[in-house]
């Protein structure tokens, strides 16, 4: 009798286990069309006034409207959900953060093909940028993110990067020789600066203002919008319009969250992200000249007559390494896009 009782209990346990597994599968099934609901967290490291967040707020507004309130996006600016780019990108992979807008610089550590856009003096102007990033080359770079648990929806914009420092007005690499310059954790940027005779120092963005203030580093490099919105003028005297690297940004969704969405909602998010890319880029481009003037008014010495050829020549030896890493054909394809 005891053995029979044990057998009955075992059978009941197995039946319950199978039923439980079936229940899990049913719960994990994608929501039907029009039934998916979500509250998504969108993270950036920039201040609320930066174009990332202005674009993100507009994106959130349209997503809510187009989903009839089923999908809400809440924007967390200024590093509220993480101190550095790597931390936020890892949060996307793990699914603890749903959406991210940030520079491509750190993304190359997760998807190496993305590093190609950070080669110095690769892009001629904004028109060239748009044709490359909105065309087949840009779309392939976004598709490559899937391998890293990230879903790239659209290229937004950080802008052409410029050098600031606390010591002297800089026109040529010789003027900045040996300066300790904060860069992103980006091998392409670091190699270019090291080749030009500077001392690149990777550092999380949240630590940069304090490091500049305490003279731990001599300078940093960023687009005008970041220099302006982050009040770099309070801790740096000199701004040089080197425009040494064009820095795209990407709106990325956690691949885990993306795969849980019905196809119709995926298409809506993709379309909205691409629309907002044009909106966000225009915001930054329209404001840049005015912001340069305001930086000068706030006490920065702005050097406009930078010797860009001297910078290109100084960084040229690094191009052999870039060609080896990314392939000369790919670099030529970008540079020759018209």
pLDDT of residue 234: 98
Average pLDDT over residues 203-218: 95
Helix, strand, or coil here: 89?
Answer: helix
pTM: 0.84
* Residue 233 DSSP code: G
Cα 310–Cα 311–Cα 317 angle in degrees, nearest 5: 100
CA 229 to each of CA 197, 207, 222, 241: distance values in angstroms, whole numbers, following the listed order: 29, 16, 11, 17
Paired with 41 in beta bridges are 74
Cβ atoms of residues 169 and 237 within 8 Å = no
Cα distance between residue 66 and residue 110, in whole Å: 31
The packing angle between helices 263-297 and 51-66, to 10°, is: 150
pLDDT above 70 as % of the chain: 90
Q: What is the pLDDT of residues 171-197, one digit of tens each?
A: 999 999 999 999 988 889 999 999 999
Q: What is the DSSP string of 114-145?
A: GGGGGSTT---SHHHHHHHHTSHHHHHHHHHG
Cβ atoms of residues 51 and 284 within 8 Å = yes
Cβ count near 133 (within 10 Å): 26
Of residues 38 and 20, more confidently modeled: 38
Sign of CA dihedral 116, 157, 198, 120: positive
pLDDT of residue 44: 96
Confidence band for 105, pLDDT divided at 50, 70 and 90: confident
Q: Could you tell me the residue ranges of all domains in the chain?
A: 37-335
Cα distance between residue 218 and residue 180, in whole Å: 5
Cα distance between residue 184 and residue 208, in whole Å: 10
Please state which CATH class domain 37-335 belongs to.
Answer: alpha beta
């Amino acid at each position: 009798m005891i053995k029979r009782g044990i057998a009955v209990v075992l059978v009941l346990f197995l039946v319950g286990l199978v039923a439980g597994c079936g229940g899990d599968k049913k719960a994990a099934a994608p929501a039907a069309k029009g039934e998916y609901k979500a509250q998504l967290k969108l993270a950036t490291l920039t201040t609320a006034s930066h174009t990332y967040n202005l674009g993100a707020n507009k994106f959130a507004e349209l997503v809510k409207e187009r989903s009839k309130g089923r999908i809400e996006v809440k924007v967390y600016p200024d590093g509220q959900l993480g101190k550095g780019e790597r931390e936020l990108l890892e949060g996307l992979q793990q699914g603890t953060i749903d959406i991210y807008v940030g520079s491509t610089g750190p993304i190359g550590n997760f998807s190496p093909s993305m590093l190609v856009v950070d080669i110095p003096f690769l892009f001629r102007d904004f028109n060239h940028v748009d044709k490359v990033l909105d065309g087949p080359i840009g779309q392939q770079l976004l598709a490559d993110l899937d391998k890293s648990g990230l879903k790239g929806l659209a290229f937004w914009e950080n802008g052409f990067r410029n050098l600031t420092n606390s010591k002297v007005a800089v026109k040529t690499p010789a003027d900045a020789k040996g300066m300790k310059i904060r860069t992103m954790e980006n091998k392409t940027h670091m190699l270019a600066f090291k080749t030009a005779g500077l001392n690149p120092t990777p550092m999380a963005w949240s630590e940069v203002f304090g490091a500049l203030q305490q003279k731990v580093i001599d300078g940093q490099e960023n687009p005008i919008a970041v220099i302006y919105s982050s009040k770099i003028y309070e801790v740096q005297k000199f701004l040089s319009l080197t425009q040494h690297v064009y820095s795209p940004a990407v709106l990325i969704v956690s691949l885990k969250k993306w795969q849980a969405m019905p196809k119709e909602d995926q298409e809506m998010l993709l379309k909205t992200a691409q629309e907002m890319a044009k909106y966000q880029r225009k915001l930054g481009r329209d404001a840049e000249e005015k912001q340069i003037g305001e930086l000068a008014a706030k006490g920065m010495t702005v050097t406009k007559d930078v010797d860009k050829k001297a910078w290109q020549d100084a960084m040229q030896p690094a191009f052999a390494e870039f060609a080896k890493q990314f392939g000369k054909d790919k670099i030529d394809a970008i540079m020759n896009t018209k």
